Amino acid sequence: MPVFATIFFAGAGLSAAQVVVEGIARATAGLEFPDGTTQATAAGAYDNVVTVAKSGGDFTTVQAALDSILDAADGNRYLVRVSPGTYSEQVTMKPFVDIEGSGRGTTTIT
């Protein structure tokens, strides 16, 4: 059964954004779970960073970036950094992968 979590971008909440978490996803200060718990992680703790941007990024959609990650593990964490813009898509999270936006009102996933 999927677990829904509200995404917080750069520490500011966007109540309309939700993601489906497959398995046990590691949360950052950017993610708040339905039970109200959060877990902070230093940005430098990631082994890999993938960039999503309307142009000039590794991918143009958040889901394409997530789909490209095949080796995420406790010792091989990923950060998906999402550039400013509105991304209209359903996002299915993966364990050991976190999403970071560019700020409230700047990055939106609907």
Start-end of H helices in 3-82: 62-68
What pLDDT score was predicted for residue 23?
36
Q: Is the pLDDT of residue 90 over 50?
A: yes
What pLDDT score was predicted for residue 17?
39
Q: Is the pLDDT of residue 50 over 90?
A: yes
Measured between its terminal Cα atoms, the distance across the chain in Å is 21
Q: Is the pLDDT of residue 108 over 60?
A: yes
- Mean pLDDT for all residues in the chain: 73
pLDDT band at 44 (very low <50, low <70, confident <90, very high): low
Q: ∠1-64-12 over CA atoms, to 5°? A: 70
Least confident of 43-52, 68-77, 86-95: 43-52
- Do residues 17 and 7 lie in contact, with contact meaning Cβ atoms separated by under 8 Å? yes
CA–CA gap between residue 47 and residue 96 (Å, rounded): 10
Dihedral angle of Cα 44, 70, 37, 13, to the nearest 10 degrees? 70
